[in-house]
Structure 1
């Protein structure tokens, strides 16, 4: 279907080209005709130059082969054609296209095309027909040349072009047939075909020529319409026109212009345009553009109107007249105040924090870099990296609205407690930064930091309620700690981490050793990630002893890391790293699976205790991991005891309590570890019925020497007994401690007095089943942490409380 449409369009175009006529009004027809004359005058001169070598070559052939009579006849025809060409040349030289009688001249051109084509064709056609010049390839080429040159010269006047091509073709075709008889018919036919093609090609050129000028005529009409519409533009448009003379004084001010600038028209006349605008670099740019006389676009200039700063956008160019370019400059102006304000707002948001209106990280970095570049040799600069202590608790308990009010108050206090040349910024979240320029000493920086800590520790009133937060600060000095902004911020961040490690609410100055500690921590993290794959982790077990019978009733699983190069690494080194990086979740899952696979080899009366971190409690894989491990090993759920600290219940209390109930419903026992060291232990005992309370070693250490420790343990054991909970004292190292604990009613103990943590092979009564003992830790780790829903055996679902 597409090909048919294309063919139809092609045929339609063919008809238009062959039968083209100008269907336009008299004015447009005259415009096209005068353009024809202009084009013919330019091309005919070039055509005469092209025809000259062809004529000379034709005369050479005649003088070589023809007799005197034919040469004389040829010269006669050439003289006539030359006369016509010269006449045409002289006429075109004197012709005034705009006033000439174009209809008469076009007729003359058509007549000239007939005369010139007869003259130039007969020069060779007659001698060839009578055998005076041999019929050859040269003659055919000359005939083709005559067609091309004739079509080229008269192409802008289609009828003259057709006359010229037709006469030339007939003359040479007749000569070929006369000279070669039947043999010349094919050449004549070919010549006719070429003539038709050339005629069509030049008609197509003329068709495009006319279409182009018709389009130009329409554009001229449109331009005129625009000119008429512009007549009322200055009064009705949202923009307005302005014009200045050669001295750049305002001329012809419109009412719209006067209204926009809030002045009278008479006051605007002969006023320098540049005087309207505020002194600025943009005004200087406008003045330079006006003075240069060159066209300009979209220059933004500030202007005061009604006492408020506004912005105009101006474009202008010199006025063109019939006599040439005028010295006047005319342009258009538009009020872009709203757009400029929006642009300024966007720029502000890109560099300032939307909540506190402090500089953001990007602007702080730029400012810091500039300050460093301007530092003199005897100057110091300090960067303070601040992080609010326990800010998350404010958001969690009081909501983000309260948190936002605290952040605003912190920003306000920081701005009030730094120097005029210093910069404070909000880097994101509850992190802030301060750059102190030109500080004298470390002591001065520490005094400023101490003052900030004091001010930020004061309560903030939120909806009538005092909210207290603290701050930790890390400090880096330039040039001692670096000469680059990013490096200083990084070192201040490292110092901040050190301040948090030292208990928060303090300031720490960066030292090179801190960077090494961070590197060590990073190395531990990388090695720890590989430790799971390299089977470097191992569980040690510390016995849990019944204080009355002195028998071992279970073990606590304690994680050890047997590094391939560094040897045994204790948990207090790598567990904090695992907590901070989130590695504690896969480590914890591995511990649960490994401990249950191990306890499956022990006698039935022995249980195993595993510690859970707060991060593990937030993992969705915790319950599926426990269920899968119990089902895979066949261990009774009551033989697994999970120990949690009070910090687990501090964060997201209700959610964690529900999770503990879900785990306990499996039959797994739950113990509260490090009891008495938190904030509200009694409340936690009320919110969840723990199976066991573990008394922290800080009370056990001096139970044999201090009455207050004995009183606390006595109270805890009594409370636990009333609630039906077992009490376990950890860290027992001396027999006197054991005796005192037994006297105060403690039920279970563990510590070095009985045994240190030992590898699994030292557990008494352990059965080394070959199929189980040969299982690698990697095989344990490969068990899915998020299994499909499984059916829990009845013995696992049955709740055990013993």
Structure 2
């Protein structure tokens, strides 16, 4: 290919070269020949290349060395439009977005340091190009003249450096810096386009045990496997990051359906909780998940991350292996939890803890065969505090070992006072079980009380297998050497694995109440699962306990399916030792079933003031109970059957409902769409009032207030609205009830 700059001067033979002491001869601007020679040598050395186009954008020149390097021969590129040879760089960072080459050429703008990829098959070649439009003496556009240089190697090095700065070197996931940057850019863009973005915060439960027992290399390998599992579940739906340690974050654009997010979180928990094989060792961990959604729970990165952190904190506080959605109540909950921490340290010394007992009765005779010891905390100011609240706190602040030791001694001492030699089961925390001296603690409790080892039963959840399973087996052996009994609690939930039953010496399996609930309903698979668990236990010579039996049809079912023992409110609630002792002393060993004839969907008793919307009117009512499919409300007189209403459950949660039962001031309503689990014991709606709707109503864009619907409807629901129903005042709840 002929050079763009014709050579009119050639190098002379060696003998014609000027001597070293020849006078200086600068290249003048008018010395065209020597200037062209200089540019030719620049091209030949590969330091840079030149290109030119005509007025139609077709290539009329490309440095010969450049064409040769790309394998283009015989003027192959000449005549092609420049846009077909170069593909502009696409950067995912919106802050680096550049105007495309096609725009620059059509607008006849100058091109400066534009990175382009060459359309060369089978090669990854990148150039940095520059160019200026040319015009003749009549200001007519004649084409471009430009330069280029190969930046393939330097670009790859830069990309590697950028990747190291943005990605976690261990797992390959985005690091904290990148996740923050991406989340910030996404939230900013989505705010303008009125879109939603969910953020999931995760950390691993019991990861420290793996590090401590198997070593840090094993911990690193475990984190890699966790990252791979996260990737398989999340896929292309979002971006995953490792923030450091055992903390992970998942950003999910365009998702605000809390039902879908709850299902995804549950899959993440189940997948991460499956066993891991690490250098021949077996390890099991768990995870907790906190969920926040923009713009509902926060508009900017800091606000949304804080909301997701609070939700994660609540999930861990609820017992781990759970997910939680953010709600404004969690701010108060975190404050309450800190108060629980402070007060719990003094609860044991101040005799605020006690043991209650719930009987386990024979499925055939309904006589008590065993009982479960359950810890209770009666706070002098706040009344009864649920074990679901204080046990996780005790584990986290490190006093569960002391509390567990007290419970073992107290139960053994009290059981010795019973006139009947019943077995008694004591729950064991996974944290308590993890201490090497736990078998000795059990032995001391038996020795000090004089209780026969055969009467003591330890209920252990599958979470004790988290971490080093070999160590767990050693503790099991030491416990069985004491001749006590072992029960696997809550079987079928959390970290289930049949290998536990193969290797651990359990005497009993407790079937979690979640498999009893709904088992009598048509199309529910729980009945089949019950049969399978009972058959499995029978083959292994183990007893089975059906937990949480409340209705008579449930009792009939679990009895027919072969459960050995029954536990639940249908026979008795947990009772203080004094009441249990009195019943035993009176010889009342048989329990009569007392409960509803049939199971119905869980209907949680509440006393909560909510809003009810009918047409353009808003009423204040009290919700007495709540289930996934409906609620009972009180506060409106004589509402006709079939009336369509909307229950405002707070926090932007609106439930469309139909009145199915009505008597006086009480109505039973059925929801158009079932509520979903909030990850705890509560229920919530899939969707909420969007902050964008509030903004459209003339309010500033902000995260959801407690009562956003009233902001939207403020003008429509004026004082002059004609209400169709009469409101009445509903009495206050019993003392100590919160709403």
- The answer, yes or no, to whether TM exceeds 0.5 is no
TM-score, length-scaled by structure 1: 0.41
Higher relative contact order (CA 8 A, sep 6+): 2
TM-score, length-scaled by structure 2: 0.44
Which of 1 and 2 has greater Rg?
1
